[in-house]
Structure formats: structure tokens, C-alpha cells
């Protein structure tokens, strides 16, 4: 069942989303070769709790951590561990917050050190596809318009693999609500968008084949051909005139600019 949020509820979701992005900005200050997923996970949890929130992922269906930390060929749902990141790694960090009864959700893929140009291009294209999808998130459009925007740009125009098994979703009093928001589909299909709908749009795109598999830990999803994978996510509210982006990647990107160990992911025009 799809629920529509009041303006007051949307503002509470925004507060949760902004705290997510503050936690991800803290991650961006720390990431460098030699740092571990467990280190950034602990730092993110501290930011969230210090600001009155609760980690939205920790304990969700048994997930053991505050962050999903997925590097290189890992697509999503990686469990933070004590393996050190290396120069040339890309790291998707997904975070959720529960505060004032509402969830926030956002993700960003970071590039550590000397990342190959073909991988950097994957990151730029995936990030750009997120904003192309957001442009479709206005009242009167359909879910399929969002889905088509990602698939057409990433798969048709740039020949990457768009993951099918994992999708965006509604956000509100629950971390995952209806409707599903796939990254593939046809224009004019699916739920008609109405003002007050809050959804997470999150392209998950592989450099190679679209097919994925699950690791033995029961959580981590990785590209079956072991090529790199990118993931960016915003939570947005549908409005009559367009999307209202509730999360804030600019906070994260300011931190990236101040960390010499990270490469900036510029928007691809």
C-alpha cells in the first residue's frame, strides 16, 4: 500500500536524510588507504547517535552494522569488516537513519586514490543517471519514467549493466515502503506519481554484465563477472512542479574536496 506524506512528515524525513548525509560526510573525511570498513562504521554510528538519531540499518532483518560498505565489484549490502581499503578501491557507502519516527536513506560511491579512468567514468555516468531519474519525479509522471531514465542513459547510451534484482523504494515510517522504484523499465508504465510520495531513487550499475550473485555472508551482493559496480542514492519527495531532494550530497562532496586521498566524482554533462 502506497502512503503519501504531509508537508510536516516530509520535513521530518528531510531531517533524517540530512543526518544520513552528515554521517556520510564524516565517512568522507576518514576514507583513505589503510582505513577499514569497521572504522568508518563506528564513526558514522557516533555521528548519528550524537545527533539524536538511531542507525536505520543496524538490526534491520538482522543486518549487523550501521553502514552498508560495498567495494569494487560489490554492488550493495556489504558488511563492514577489518580489511583495509587500498589505493584504487571504489567504495559504496549506504546509510539509513531513524529519527522522530521517520527514516532517511542515502548512498554515495567514493573513489580512493588512483582509480582507473574507466571506473571513474562508471561513477560519473551512474551519478548522472540519478539526477536524470530525479528530473522525472514530479506529479503526473509514472514510476516507469524514472526507471527508463536510468536504464536508457546507463545501459543504452553507455553500455553498462543495470542491476535488475535490487530497486529503489518508498521511504517513511518504514525503511522500505511501497512502491518499488526499479532502475529499468518503460516510460508511461507503473504507478502514477502524486505529490507527497517519498521515494529513494538509487541506480546500481555494473561496469560489465548486469547479473549479480550473493556472497556466503547472506548479505553482500556482487557483480557476477567481478567488474566494478557503482551506487548513488537520494531520497526525494514528489511535488507538483518537480522533485524535492531531501538528502544532500553536497555535504559529502565538500568533505571529499578536503580529503586529498579521495577523487571528486564530477557530474557528467
Cβ contact 13:240 at 8 Å: no
Cβ contact 246:234 at 8 Å: yes
* Residue 266: pLDDT band with limits 50, 70, 90: confident
Mean pLDDT throughout 196-210? 98
Residue 268's pLDDT is 66
Residue 269's pLDDT is 55
Residue 147's pLDDT is 98
C-alpha cell of residue 268: 557528467
Spell out the residues 6+ positions from residue 236 whose beta carbon is closer than 8 angstroms to its own: 134, 137, 198, 199, 200, 201, 243, 244, 245, 246
Residue with cell 548512498: 107
The string of pLDDT tens digits covering residues 94-119 is: 999 999 999 999 999 999 999 999 99
Residue 17's pLDDT is 98
Query: Among 108, 77, 83, which Cα is nearest to 213's?
Result: 77
**Element spanning 44, H or E:** helix 37-50
The whole-chain average pLDDT of the chain stands at 97
The string of pLDDT tens digits covering residues 36-65 is: 999 999 999 999 999 999 999 999 999 999
pTM: 0.97
What the chain holds in terms of domains, given with CATH numbers, is 7-263 (3.90.230.10)
Spell out the residues 6+ positions from residue 264 whose beta carbon is closer than 8 angstroms to its own: 253, 256, 257
The string of pLDDT tens digits covering residues 130-139 is: 999 999 999 9
**Torsions phi, psi for 176 (to 5 deg):** -125, 115
CA 244/CA 226 separation, integer angstroms: 35
Reduce the DSSP state of residue 45 to 3 states and report it.
helix
Cβ contact 125:158 at 8 Å: yes
Mean pLDDT throughout 141-149? 98
**Element spanning 256, H or E:** helix 249-257
**pLDDT at residue 258 greater than cutoff 80:** yes
Query: Among 78, 82, 60, which Cα is nearest to 70's?
Result: 78
Cβ contact 76:214 at 8 Å: no
C-alpha cell of residue 240: 507538483
Say if residue 176 is exposed, middle or buried (CB neighbours under 10 Å; 0-12, 13-18, 19+).
middle
Residue 231's pLDDT is 98
* Residue 267: pLDDT band with limits 50, 70, 90: confident
Amino acid at each position: 500500500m502506497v502512503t503519501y506524506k504531509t508537508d510536516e512528515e516530509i520535513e521530518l524525513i528531510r531531517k533524517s536524510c540530512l543526518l544520513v548525509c552528515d554521517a556520510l560526510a564524516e565517512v568522507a573525511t576518514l576514507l583513505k588507504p589503510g582505513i577499514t570498513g569497521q572504522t568508518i562504521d563506528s564513526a558514522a554510528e557516533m555521528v548519528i547517535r550524537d545527533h539524536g538519531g538511531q542507525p536505520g540499518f543496524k538490526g534491520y532483518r538482522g543486518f549487523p552494522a550501521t553502514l552498508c560498505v560495498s567495494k569494487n565489484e560489490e554492488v550493495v549490502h556489504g558488511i563492514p569488516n577489518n580489511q583495509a581499503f587500498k589505493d584504487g578501491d571504489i567504495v559504496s557507502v549506504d546509510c539509513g537513519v531513524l529519527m522522530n519516527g521517520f527514516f532517511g536513506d542515502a548512498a554515495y560511491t567514493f573513489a580512493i586514490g588512483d582509480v582507473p579512468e574507466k571506473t571513474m567514468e562508471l561513477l560519473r555516468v551512474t551519478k548522472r543517471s540519478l539526477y536524470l531519474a530525479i528530473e522525472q519525479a514530479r506529479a503526473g509522471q509514472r514510476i516507469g519514467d524514472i526507471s527508463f531514465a536510468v536504464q536508457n542513459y546507463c545501459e543504452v547510451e553507455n553500455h553498462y549493466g543495470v542491476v535488475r534484482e535490487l530497486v529503489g523504494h518508498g521511504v517513511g515510517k518504514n525503511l522500505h515502503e511501497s512502491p518499488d522504484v526499479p532502475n529499468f523499465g518503460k516510460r508511461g508504465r507503473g504507478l502514477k506519481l502524486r505529490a507527497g510520495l517519498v521515494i529513494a531513487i538509487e541506480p546500481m550499475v555494473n561496469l560489465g554484465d548486469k547479473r549479480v550473485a550473493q556472497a556466503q555472508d547472506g548479505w553482500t551482493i556482487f557483480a557476477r563477472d567481478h567488474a566494478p559496480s557503482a551506487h548513488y542514492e537520494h531520497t526525494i519527495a514528489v511535488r507538483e512542479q518537480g522533485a524535492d531532494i531531501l538528502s544532500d550530497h553536497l555535504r559529502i562532496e565538500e568533505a571529499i574536496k578536503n580529503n586529498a586521498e579521495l577523487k571528486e566524482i564530477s557530474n557528467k554533462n
